[in-house]
Amino acid sequence: MSDEIQAKNQVPPPILIAAIICDWVIIDALTQKPSIIGAFEVISAQSYPARHGRLAFFCQLTNGHGKTPVTVKLVDVQKEDQSLFEQTIECEFKDVRAVGNLTFDINGIVFPHSGEYRFQIFAGTNFLGERRIICGEIKMNSGGNINA
């Protein structure tokens, strides 16, 4: 099969329309509507490595075709070849116009140092996008006040 015919037969990857880091995602049992609780993009700790008890990563996709494996990785920008977290969920799109809501619950993640990390989203091997999270160090001044 020629490359041109093969390219025409390939299904396009889904489109990422939202990526949110938060404390909790609650899905209403009746309507299936997600509620995002405590959205954030910065984690502060007095020292590193730091353990973060619980967080959730929520993403929405559309323009999907059938069953699609969606992988989320949390990577340190200094060492992108190493994942702090990685999970794959199969998302089924019954209609190309449908929106798929995916939640990844992460318990007890350890951030090795302050700095920038990224949640990266893939559909199969296709990179869809990423969301940045910053880990900062809280410094106490001599008066006992916090300097973030």
- State the pLDDT at residue 7: 52
Helix (H), strand (E) at residue 19 = strand 15-22
- State the pLDDT at residue 139: 82
Phi, psi of 6 (to 5 degrees): -65, -40
What DSSP designation does 5 have?
H
User: What tens-digit pLDDT sequence spans the chain (148 residues)?
Assistant: 455 544 556 889 999 999 999 999 999 999 999 999 999 999 999 999 999 999 999 999 999 999 999 999 999 999 877 899 999 999 999 999 999 999 999 999 999 999 999 999 999 999 999 999 999 998 877 655 555 5
* Burial status of residue 42 (CB atoms within 10 A of its CB: 0-12, 13-18, 19 or more): exposed
Sequence-distant (≥ 6) Cβ neighbours of residue 101 within 8 angstroms: 27, 32, 34, 58, 59, 60
What is the C-alpha radius of gyration for the chain, rounded to an integer number of angstroms? 18
Give the amino acid at 59: C
Q: If you search the block for the tokens 């075709």, which residue do you land on?
A: 65
Give the amino acid at 120: Q
Domains contained in the chain, CATH given? 14-147 (2.60.40.1930)
Give 27-61 as a DSSP string: E-TTT--EEEES--SEEEESSSSEEEEEEEEEEEE
* Burial status of residue 64 (CB atoms within 10 A of its CB: 0-12, 13-18, 19 or more): buried
